Copies of this chain bind each other. A is one copy, B any other.
Amino acid sequence: MPPGTAHAAGGEVRRVGIVGGGQLGRMLTLAAHPLGLAVTVLDPDPGCPAAQVGATQIVGRLDDPAALAALSAATDVVTWEIEHIDADALVALEAGGVLVRPSPSMLAAVQDKFAQKQLLAGAGIAVAATVAFPPLGASAAPDRAAFLVSLVGRLGDPVVVKARRGGFDGRGNHVLSGGDPDALGALTATLGDDWSALYAEASVPFVAEVAVIVARDAAGATVAYPTLRTVQEGGICHTVSVPAGLDPAIDAEAQDLGRRTVALLDGPGVFAVEMFVTPDAVVVNEIAPRVHNSGHLTIEAAATSQFEQHVRAVAGLPLGPTTLRTPAAVMVNVLGRREGPAPSEGLGAALALPDTHVHLYGKTSYPQRKIGHVTALGADAAEVAARALAAREALRT
């Protein structure tokens, strides 16, 4: 029997393959162990975070066809922890009979952020206005400058120019101000001169950022987690809080948008929908077709973590409840401050804070690198947030 055919036949999934073995793969692996599911990850770095916690690792590039074939041959289902991968290769695996979850063609459709926005807008979901960049030749600098000026006229000032693919943690975004005399030069310096890779978005004057995480099982049933309040700093997720503290009508709108958005995305798994709350509306900002940084607090704060939920979904198992086990929870990312091995100093000081949970990813540190997170739980949201930040401060990274 060639690899993959057992999958299509609907056999039980007991071996999960993950493209990527970073911290998300690590936390997926930790969630898979109690269920007796074996995890294999494909990751280029030997001893990646997931391999440190009992995933079998195939060392290889995420887009290496031979490595992907080996991953699918060793497992009953293939999923991913990162969306910037070769979706076409996964589509080809699926065509060859490999069970890939969620849908790789869905992944291909949303990897291009402009196409993602078009998909959402076409379904009547509120998103920022977008404009495609024209495929101008490299010699057409005056035309390009004029186009940028026109963007401000069409989308308002400032405009956010984004890389269609591959951006994360704020990288791949450029804020274009109409008053900048060298707008073209500044844009080219940050995002390059391949205009086919870019598009423009109206900037959204938000009063809050939120995320809704939705899980879907193999039969199509979905559950959503309570709305999460997210705060970015320097483009990187800084704190995530629950409850989100929104007006109930706005919260309901966010939940509705989250579910409607995920209804557009095929396949079982966990999806995160990031949104802006403006004075007038809730607007979808971005989809992550995977477990997401905003959901880390579900490990302690929810009845079922987003990681266990994703493992259950891709393994064809029923989903668990998403209810909170605590009045309030706050997660803060732990970022590297210096070059060097993973932090250890300060762990005792962080854990001395009550009901404060430290997650280190086994990654070497460099400035601004996400090397862990802390989740604090408690009754009073402000006190919980202060405690989470104090724990992060205590960890000498």
Stretch at the interface among A29-37, A65-73, A80-88, A177-185: A29-37
CA distance A55 to B54 in the complex (A): 7
Can you tell how many copies of this chain the complex includes? 2
> Of B312, B317, B352, B362, which one neighbours A36 at CB under 8 angstroms?
B362
Is residue A119 contacting chain B, with contact meaning CB distance below 8 A? no
> Of B52, B352, B372, which one neighbours A318 at CB under 8 angstroms?
B352
Proximity bits, A276-306, B CB within 8 Å = 1, else 0:
0000000000000000000000000001100
Of residues 214 to 257 in A, which have CB atoms within 8 Å of B's CB atoms?
Answer: none
Is residue A132 contacting chain B, with contact meaning CB distance below 8 A? no
Of residues 67 to 108 in A, which have CB atoms within 8 Å of B's CB atoms?
Answer: none
- Whether B355 lies near A321 (C-beta < 8 A) is yes
> Of B35, B52, B321, B355, which one neighbours A354 at CB under 8 angstroms?
B321
Q: Which residues of B contact A355 (CB under 8 A)?
A: 303-304, 320-321, 323
Given A326-B325, A344-B14, A377-B303, are A34 and B351 neighbors across the interface (CB < 8 Å)? no
Given A320-B351, A321-B355, A351-B317, are A33 and B53 neighbors across the interface (CB < 8 Å)? yes
- Whether B36 lies near A347 (C-beta < 8 A) is yes
Q: Which residues of B contact A187 (CB under 8 A)?
A: none
Instruction: State how many angstroms separate the Cβ of A67 from the closest Cβ of chain B.
Output: 22
> Of B34, B352, B358, which one neighbours A357 at CB under 8 angstroms?
B34
Instruction: State how many angstroms separate the Cβ of A312 from the closest Cβ of chain B.
Output: 6
Is residue A348 contacting chain B, with contact meaning CB distance below 8 A? yes
Given A53-B54, A303-B377, are A316 and B36 neighbors across the interface (CB < 8 Å)? no
CA distance A345 to B355 in the complex (A): 36
Proximity bits, A171-192, B CB within 8 Å = 1, else 0:
0000000000000000000000
Instruction: State how many angstroms separate the Cβ of A397 from the closest Cβ of chain B.
Output: 11
CA distance A273 to B164 in the complex (A): 60
> Of B14, B54, B316, B357, which one neighbours A54 at CB under 8 angstroms?
B54
Is residue A359 contacting chain B, with contact meaning CB distance below 8 A? yes
Is residue A109 contacting chain B, with contact meaning CB distance below 8 A? no
CA distance A394 to B266 in the complex (A): 30
> Of B33, B360, B372, which one neighbours A52 at CB under 8 angstroms?
B33
Q: Which residues of B contact A12 (CB under 8 A)?
A: 344-345
Instruction: State how many angstroms separate the Cβ of A157 from the closest Cβ of chain B.
Output: 45
Binding site for B on A (CB under 8 A): 12, 14, 26, 29-30, 33-36, 52-55, 303-304, 312, 316-318, 320-321, 323, 325-326, 342-345, 347-348, 351-352, 354-362, 372, 377
New A-B contacts (9) at CB < 8 Å, excluding given A30-B33, A34-B360 = A14-B344, A30-B30, A53-B53, A304-B355, A312-B351, A320-B355, A321-B354, A325-B325, A325-B326
Smallest CB-CB A-B distances: 4 pairs: A54-B54, A36-B360, A53-B54, A318-B352
Q: List 18 A-B contacts (CB under 8 A).
A: A30-B30, A30-B33, A30-B34, A33-B53, A34-B357, A34-B358, A34-B360, A36-B342, A36-B360, A36-B361, A36-B362, A36-B372, A54-B54, A54-B55, A303-B355, A303-B377, A318-B351, A325-B325
